[in-house]
Structure 1
Amino acid sequence: MPTRVALVASSYHPHLGGVESHVRHVASELRAAGTDVEVWTVDRGEHLGTTELDDIRVRHLPTPMPARSVGAMARFALAAPGAWRAWRSAQRSFRPDVLHVQCFGPNGLYAAALARRARLPLVLSSHGETFMDDHDAFGTSALLRRGLREAISAATVTTGCSQEVLDDLRDRFGLVGGVVVPNGVGPAPEQPSGPPRRGLLGLGAGDRVVFAVGRLERMKGFDLLVDAVAALDDPSVTLVVAGSGSQADPLAALAQSRGLGDRFRLVGPLDEAGVDAWMRDAQVVAMPSRREAFGIVALEAWRAGSPLVATSLGGPSTFVQSGVDGLVVDPRDTATLAAALRRVLDDRAFAASLAAAGRRSVEAFTWTRVARDYTAIYASAVVPPSGPSGPSGTLPSRS
């Protein structure tokens, strides 16, 4: 079994997001189980160097990419040798047994090249980056597309956080086989002392909150949620959205045009404790994504004991039982989404039953389970199983 694993993440602390949370929790669980682990992540120009988080070393490595303009190519030619030296230095210093790419991007290109050069096993974990990016990085970059195909071909195991993710890798990037390793969620974070968050927004006990959280980008569908809340035409309902992104101002403008006024609030990016606090205070948590790779928000809502309305377009439809531990609807249908919100808001007994079932369902999604799945994959990567198998099919697929 390998004793040293480099988790090569496309993004990490101090940035917030799904992959950042996934890698941070997995790193802590692996370390607690006795694996020596480091996190290698992309230097976004902040020059953070080598830091430490949760007693785990974090290396911020440069990942310059070539572009078509003459100037960009010249800058890449100057930067690439130094970047490659930084990656080789990280490998020689830590001496990992496995390189595990979490969310393929420039990090994946460099890690795959390093795996070839150092003859290290490569494990890939996709989190929907091939279709969840609003800027369509894989659609616009032939280098990324080719790099991902080659990395999948070379990888010992490729995982996806849902069947939705694996299906896309099979359809467009040549994956054969593949293993589902879902997201997880930890214990509820400790809440800081202070006044209730709704009080800070001037909301009273009679105000009912629909809460949503995520990147403020088109794929997350918050504009669809604005339309649905407006369709409720209920002055007691306020939509609170947490996150940051390019759609913050357009969302605010849309809410004003729909007549929501102060019944629409943007509260900015929140840490895990902040998200949990709002979920516990909300009457319903909504996930209106146009497409969703997994939907860790669903697990967070279950943990908080909040009734959930989730998208049917992607990951949540594979693990949320509609009518049991949530309602699963197509958010593009404004009337259907509004009706689901209305049912949860108005039927307290039904809302309580969804919340209670969610608390039971979330028990199956722990970070310990995720780390255990990865540990089995690392073992198969270092010691190939006897008998023939495909490059990504060394473990049975799980869903």
Structure 2
Amino acid sequence: MKVLHVNAGLENGGGLSHIVNLLKEAKIEGKDFELLTLAEGPVAKAAREAGIDTYVLGAGSRYDLASLKRLAAFINDRHYDIVHTHGARANLFLSLIHKKIRATWCITVHSDPYLDFEGRGILGKIFTKLNLHALRKADCVFAVTRRFAQLMINKVNVPASKVHVIYNGIFFHDDSEIPAKYEHMYFNIINVARTEKVKGQELLLKALKKIDDSHIRLYIAGDGSQLDTLKELAQELDIAPQVTFNGFMTQKQLTNLYRRMNLAVLTSYSESFPLVLLEASDNQIPILSTDIGDIKMMIPDEEHGFIAKIGDVDSIAAQLKKAINESPEKLEQMAAREKKYVASHFSVKNQLDSIEKVYQDL
């Protein structure tokens, strides 16, 4: 079975990790999986570094519909059985040529399609409608949470027979491979997420202000349209000395930063199945999240992590206090317990096996 994964190529966050990890595992297992990006960028670069067979279509811009003919020819000439798209732009391109290709078409829904273009004006509304239209046309839709699956069926109107829940996974490391932790004098919190409204970092800053504890330090690792706004908010709240905005960080840089973290926090309004929390857990850091996606599959109870209400500063502050007031020994035990749990349930191998079963059925 010959499979082509397609992405716009400009993704820098969880979407990039999802695609590259999946194709890396497929390569390890000797599967005939390849990657095509519409443009040169971080995804193609990361895939090449992972030894994945990677091609670039060379679309001139986000609106280069002239490349559609080349895309259809690429798919048909190379005789792919499955074409699997990730992201709204790749979905759009396939929706415009799906009747001209012989391959079966699958889409992975990584995030809420109604929120992907929030705050981007009329263009955002147009792209939302085009993406929803593409989701209805595909032969198969992989939803990375049960909530997204229900959204696809009940709101987007994708037939239930086409929708499959496949949880994200990562490559977990033996504890002996994880770099030793640095000793430090503060309680360090890390938030790894794009600085966009949907990620809710303003809630985290307000919760930090509410706690009013100068012993806490927050590191926000991510770039995006809200970065300057968040910096201004930190100044307004008079907590700027406690907050470091690291901007986008490579995996190597993040791994080094994890060595002095006490807690990993995600305060999003909406998420799929956040890889950044799996990665934090792999690095032996306890995790706290708002009640997004199927997070209770990842944090099944209070022994495995902390869950706050979505959009609720008081709830986030309360869960942060709970973590801060725990002894270092108990937090260490929680992190070890959580890693053992997620490693057994959410490896990238499990993810690939589940996807392949659907491919075979198709």
Output the TM-score relative to the length of structure 1.
0.80
- Mapping of 1:128-167 within 5 angstroms? 128-135=111-118, 140-142=124-126, 145-146=129-130, 148-149=132-133, 151-155=135-139, 157-167=140-150
Distance 2:148 2:226 in 1: 25
Q: Using the alignment, how far apart are the partners of 2:206 and 2:323 within structure 1?
A: 17
Which residues of 2 match residues 71-110 of structure 1 at below 5 A? 79-81=64-66, 83-103=67-87, 105-110=88-93
Q: Which amino acid aligns with 1:186?
A: F
1:116 aligns with 2:96: no
1:194-233 alignment runs, 5 A limit: 205-233=184-212
Q: Give, in whole Å, the separation in 2 of the partners of 1:240 and 1:45.
A: 26
8 Å CA contact 1:213, 1:297 repeated in 2? yes
Using the alignment, how far apart are the partners of 1:236 and 1:311 within structure 2?
23
Counterpart Cα distance in 2 of 1:286 and 1:129? 20
In the TM superposition, 1:336-347 aligns within 5 A as 336-347=315-326
Distance 1:139 1:167 in 2: 26
Letter in 1 for 2:349: T
Residue 182 of structure 1 and its aligned partner are, at CA, apart by: 0.9
Structure having greater relative contact order (Cα 8 Å, sep ≥ 6): 1
Aligned amino acid, residue 4 of structure 2: A
Q: Residues 310-349 of structure 1, C-alpha deviation per residue, up to 9 Å, x if partnerless? A: 1113332343124121111115322221121122112114
Quote the RMSD (CA, aligned, Å): 3.0
Query: Corresponding residue for 1:180?
Result: 165
Is this contact kept in 2: 1:132–1:292, CA < 8 A?
no
* Match status 1:255 vs 2:234: yes
Unaligned runs of 5+ in 2: none
- One of 343, 356, 359 as aligned partner of 1:375: 356
Q: Percent identity over the alignment?
A: 19
After TM superposition, list the pairs within 5 Å mapping 1:268-287 onto structure 2: 268-287=247-266
Matched length: 354
Equivalent AA in structure 2 for residue 182 of structure 1: Y
- The one-letter amino acid paired with 1:109 is L
User: Which segments of 5 or more consecutive residues in structure 1 lack a partner in the other structure?
Assistant: 67-75, 199-203, 382-399
Distance 1:279 1:18 in 2: 17
Tell me how far apart the structure 2 counterparts of residues 308 and 125 of structure 1 sit (CA, whole Å). Answer: 25
CA distance in structure 2 between the aligned counterparts of 1:36 and 1:265, rounded to whole angstroms = 43
Residues 295, 315 of structure 1: 8 Å contact kept: no
Shift of 1:280: 3.6
- What TM-score results when the alignment is normalised by the length of structure 2? 0.87
Q: 1:119 to 1:144 in 2, by over 3 A?
A: farther
State how 1:18-33 maps to structure 2 within 5 Å.
18-33=14-29
SS at match of 1:281: coil
Q: Do the aligned partners of 1:188 and 1:276 also contact (CA within 8 Å) in 2?
A: no
Which residue identity does 2:33 align to in structure 1?
V
Instruction: Look up the equivalent residue of 1:372 and give its one-letter code.
Output: D
Structure 1: distance between partners of 2:128 and 2:312: 34
Match of 1:236 in 2: 215
1:22-80 residue CA offsets vs partner (Å, 9 max, x unmatched): 0001111112222222211232799x89x9442223223355799xxxxxxxxx6xx53
Moved more, 132-141 or 25-34: 132-141
Higher mean C-alpha deviation, range 131-140 or range 269-278:
131-140
